[in-house]
Structure 1
Amino acid sequence: MKKLALLATALAMFSGSASAADMAVKALKAPPAPAFDPWDIAFGGGIVSDYVFRGITQSNHKPSVTAYFEPRFNVNKDLQFYVGVAGESISFTNRAAAEIDVYGGIRPTFGAFAFDIGVWGYLYPGGTCFYGAATDFTGRPVGAECAANLLLNGNTMKKDVSFFEVYGKGTYTVNDNWAFGVTEFYTPSFLNSGAWGNYTSATAKYTAPSTLFGSSGVGMYVSGEFGRQWFGRTDSFYGTPAFPNGIHYADYNTWNIGVGFTYKVFTLDLRYSDSNLSKGDCSVFTGAFNAAVGTAPVTGNNPFGAGSNWCGATGIAKLSFDLTAMTNLK
């Protein structure tokens, strides 16, 4: 009897242990995965000491403020659609004081390759036409506003210089530290001048290991770009006595290199930018209101010999912040 009692007790203990083990296994089951939310919003802003676009100042070498807002739809982790609006303060010859960018596109990813394909619109509201004569060199009337506004250096600019570009970008990420890319932009009428424009560039970026500054949370990168801008012929508004039907803007190279420091959502970028445009070609292309007459060779494109420093070497410091709703606002 004692043996039977001990056996019954052992069986009861074994049964109880098994039940406890089952309960422990059930308790360790992973919670259900959160539902995939395809929507996201990126936004940010900043201040820059000189707003430079492809080697040319857009702010007369003065500080500029910028901001953007970009809703995104993620089909999956490798495919994103997006639209956005951005703004920058500028200083143009036609007295436009702001650039408003409206854009949209698609960002597919294939392993280490990431692409960005879309359309970018550049809007410059508030402009005033500057020409200083009643007709262009082909005899076409330019309008009362254009005729009434004269720049003593002979430069001209339309009231509306808004335009759009189609673009494609590709980036190959080698590892956590190195990434290389190419860009391509095309417009049928750069700055509404009538001249087509094509910009191609190569980019490189080195991101330092996250342990470089210990546990401070500060990151660092070094990046650079080399690009070339090609142009077609403008319409007659920008013609000269030698080329009344329009001029061919000078094609040019531009490059920049810089170092950036990141901390949480903030980035401080310090950069050197330059181009190989001469002061005379720079004056012709930008129509700079402060170009100085007689400081560049007289040519068919530049009959007054005006020269501008808007396209030369410059240092740029930019402090910005960037956030996404899914990452920073949860």
Structure 2
Amino acid sequence: MRKRLAALAIGLGLLSAPAMAQVDLGAGFSLTGTATAATDYVFRNISQTRGRPAVQGALELSHEIGLYVGAFASNVAFAGTDARQEVDILAGYRRSIGSFTFDIGGIAYTYPGYSRQPGQQEISYFETMLRLKYELDPVTFVGTAAWSPNFFGRSGDGYWLEGGVDVKLPVLDITLSGRLGYQWIERNARFGTPDYLAYSVSATIPIRYGFAVTAGYYGTDISQRECGGLKVCDNRFIAALTWTF
């Protein structure tokens, strides 16, 4: 099945979203959140909405010791299925030591309302993830490693490696971002694509009142033929408006 290649605005990397605002709840707890309207929703640069707009929300509850839990929701549109929404649950531990930050956690990707038809596979799955960040102002280096024991569409082991850099410019606080990643899938025929390279460049501009605009170019090395004749793997420009609260 080719339908489902994440990220979450918190932690998964849908777009180069700005850092979320924090609401202090007392006793060491804080709440962060985002709401996003985008021209498309891509996960590892494959469209989850078949090139259509997406409306998304994310919340994270964290404690000062480093533990956190969160959730993400978005509309989706997978060809040949009745899946129309995605709800993800995540939890983990995040800690900063000087300029270095590590984040280790797990994510459950679920699709409420999806009903598996004859010949189709279950599409919900679980993934463990390690994210690293090193800040060397005005440059931030980031890296991600993820593993699923049974990836989307019951396609077996799935591995994802990604590296990137964010550069904050002195003009309008613009942040330029670049990412390069690779997805390995054990059962490519069941998933619907070969293993592939993903790359992106984007710019994020903060506005006011917690709003920011992101625009970028997202691509893969998957041909349309290798993507089952669908356009969801095509290279594309995406714009998004994000509100942090």
TM-score by length of 1: 0.63
Distance 1:182 1:198, change over 3 A: same
- Per-residue deviation at 1:208? 1.6
Q: Which residue of 2 aligns with 1:314?
A: 236
On the 8 A contact 1:55/1:311 being kept in 2, the answer is yes
Structure 1 distance, partners of 2:224, 2:43, is: 17
The residue aligned with 2:58 is 68
- One-letter code aligned to 1:269: T
- Extract structure 1 runs of 4+ deviating beyond 4 A: none
Deviation at 1:248, TM superposition (A): 8.3
Pick aligned residue for 1:203 from 152, 155, 164: 164
Q: Which runs of 5 or more structure 2 residues have no equivalent in the other structure?
A: 1-25
The yes-or-no answer on 1:125 pairing with 2:112 is yes
Give distance in 2, aligned partners of 1:82 and 1:263: 28
Which position in structure 2 is the counterpart of 1:89?
75
Q: Which residue of 1 aligns with 2:200?
A: 256
Distance 1:58 1:182 in 2: 23
Structure 2 match to 1:270: 215
* Aligned residue pair count: 218
Tell me which protein shows more strand as a share of its residues.
2
What secondary structure sits across from 1:60 in the alignment?
coil
Q: Could you tell me how far 1:109 is from its partner in structure 2?
A: 1.0
Identity %: 26
Matched, 1:52 2:42: yes
1:45 aligned partner, one-letter code: A
For residues 282-301 of structure 1, the aligned pairs below 5 Å read 282-283=227-228
1:292 corresponds to which residue?
A: none
Aligned to 2:16: none
Q: Which has more radius of gyration? A: 1
- The 1-side partners of 2:201 and 2:192 are apart by 29
Please tell me the residue identity of whatever aligns with 1:316.
Answer: I
Give the letter aligned to residue 166 of structure 1: T
Q: For residues 192 and 59 of structure 2, what CA distance do their matches in structure 1 show?
A: 36
Aligned equivalent of 1:108: 95
SS of alignment partner, residue 259 of structure 1: strand
| In 1, Cα distance between equivalents of 2:112 and 2:192 | 26
**Residue 149 (structure 2) pairs with residue 163 (structure 1):** no
CA separation in 2, counterparts of 1:70 and 1:182? 21
SS in 2 for 1:280: coil
Alignment match, 2:225: 280
Match of 2:32 in 1: 42
Moved more, 88-97 or 161-170: 88-97
The match for 1:290 is: none
For normalisation by structure 2, the TM-score amounts to 0.84
| Cα shift at 1:72 | 0.8
After superposition, the C-alpha distances for 1:109-155 in whole angstroms (9 at most, x for unaligned) are 1111111110011001212334xxxxxxxxxxxxxxx1xxxxxxxxx
Amino acid in structure 2 at the alignment position of 1:233: R
| Equivalent position amino acid for 1:120 in 2 | I
Deviation at 1:108, TM superposition (A): 1.0
> Hey, what's the Cα distance between the residues in 2 that align with 1:225 and 1:234?
23
Mapped contact 1:188–1:194 kept (Cα < 8 A): no
Cα separation, 2, equivalents of 1:157 and 1:316: 30
Query: Quick one: distance in 2 between partners of 1:37 and 1:102?
Result: 23
